[in-house]
Structure 1
Amino acid sequence: MRVYLTNAGVVTLLEPANFRGLDVLIDPQAPDQIERAISRIGKREGEGHVRLSPSVLRFLSPHAGEAEWEENFDKMIAYATKAGWVDDSNMVRAHITFAEPQPSITPDVFKAAMRALPAGIAAITTGQGDGRAAFIVSSLVSISAEPPLVGFFANRTVSALPTILAENKFAANVLGTGQEDVVQTMCSAPQGPARFSNGTWLEGKNGLPVLDGALATLECDIISSTTVGTHQFIVGHIRHSSSAEAIHPLVNFNGGVRHLPERLSA
């Protein structure tokens, strides 16, 4: 069983059904980033060990709650207790293993590759009145139909992000032909009501700004927010949704706003 602290800020559990050992695998990263990551899962003990709570391991395991896994997990903790690796706070000691550096592409190469990926464009909105905030994404993604979930990625420097997280809800407005000015305004106007100066904005059923005539509007409550690299991945449970008559979607491709042709070739 291995807790993996990635250099993208994601914490995962590798080999969750391997009960013969326990360690913490850490990607190469800055010392302060390592310490922040360790503080999320337990506490450091010297240079080579971390103290972990069994509840953290259960939380990370996809098998927690399964009878066989729980039985073997309890046996592992009992063995560690007998060996003196569990302290008075019931924290189990795990060895730190530092991962070898792996090849990686540069940010410029990454951006060049991603510019070749066409993606739909949506305006993410939140707040009310003078407290409204918005920005444009091309990272809106469908996650699940039952329950209905969508998500998007936002750079952690995005000016709207603090408001979105404080409101704990957002609307995703999927944009189409004729709404190019909405994109331009939201990419250039100061954060706040000025970003809503193009288009007709209404108050949705959840009290969120929704664009009249958008291809679709999805009003969501935030159920999770996870740091992944330079971005925050925000997942929303859709509470209300509406769709307009079919218009052609706007697409982000090669760094610009494009239109899909009226009829795609087979």
Structure 2
Amino acid sequence: MSETTIDQADFRKVLGSYPTGVCVVTAMDGDKPAGMVVGSFTSVSLDPPLVGFFPDKKSTSWPVIEKAGRFCVNVMASDQLDVCRSASAKGDDKFVGVEFTISDHDLPIIANSIACIECQLYSVTEAGDHWFAMGEVLRMESVREDDPMLFHRGRYGGFAERM
């Protein structure tokens, strides 16, 4: 239990100063794709190869992904804002108009993502009002060399190199 009271609006504002990459985590819900947008994706371990992200406990998409037992992290490019908007929508229409293929691991891989990382669910740990979901990497691929989609201070954008 914290000894300090932190205002939630201040917490979001200050932590929003740190830019994050944008990924769409996908899985299959029976015969249809399911997914959610995350900005909390990270590498965790090389041996075994583990990655992780932090779904909100209120997410309606996370229980579907967790139940599937496998997921794919699709790293979004700066030109895929339409995909991010679709995947973050509520309900069953998240993938209407989104081009994807189904991998050998039965996972949706979004077309033209920068990279895809297919995982077997490794563990889920409680982390406050979120879960810490880890996956063991089954297959990964760098798909194209383009700028990543970034999220910073409540807005989407891209990378600008400074020399």
Shift of 1:130: 4.3
Superposition misfits of 4+ residues, deviation over 3 angstroms: 128-131
Greater fraction strand: 2
* TM-score, structure 2 normalization: 0.93
Gap runs ≥5 in structure 1: 1-26, 28-100
Query: What is the aligned-residue identity percentage?
Result: 26
Equivalent of 1:207 in 106, 116, 127: 106
Whether 1:111 and 2:111 are equivalent positions in the alignment is: no
Whether 1:244 and 2:115 are equivalent positions in the alignment is: no
How many angstroms apart in 2 are the aligned matches of 1:245 and 1:123? 16
SS in 1 for 2:123: strand
User: How many residue pairs are counted as aligned between the two chains?
Assistant: 163
SS in 2 for 1:159: coil
Are the structure 2 counterparts of residues 129 and 212 from structure 1 closer, same or farther at C-alpha, using a change threshold of 3 Å?
farther
SS in 2 for 1:232: strand
Q: Kindly indicate whether structure 1 or structure 2 has the higher relative contact order, using CA contacts under 8 Å at least 6 residues apart.
A: 2
Give 1:77-226 correspondences, 5 Å limit: 102-128=3-29, 130-190=31-91, 192=92, 194-226=93-125
| CA RMSD in angstroms, aligned pairs only | 1.5
Q: Which has the larger radius of gyration?
A: 1
Q: For the Cα contact (< 8 Å) 2:150–2:158, is it kept in 1?
A: yes
Q: For the Cα contact (< 8 Å) 2:78–2:150, is it kept in 1?
A: no
Equivalent residue for 1:80?
none
* TM-score, structure 1 normalization: 0.59
Q: For the Cα contact (< 8 Å) 2:26–2:71, is it kept in 1?
A: yes
How many angstroms apart in 1 are the aligned matches of 2:29 and 2:101? 11
Q: What CA deviation, in whole Å up to 9, does each residue of 1:61-84 have, x standing for no partner?
A: xxxxxxxxxxxxxxxxxxxxxxxx
How many angstroms apart in 2 are the aligned matches of 1:128 and 1:110? 34
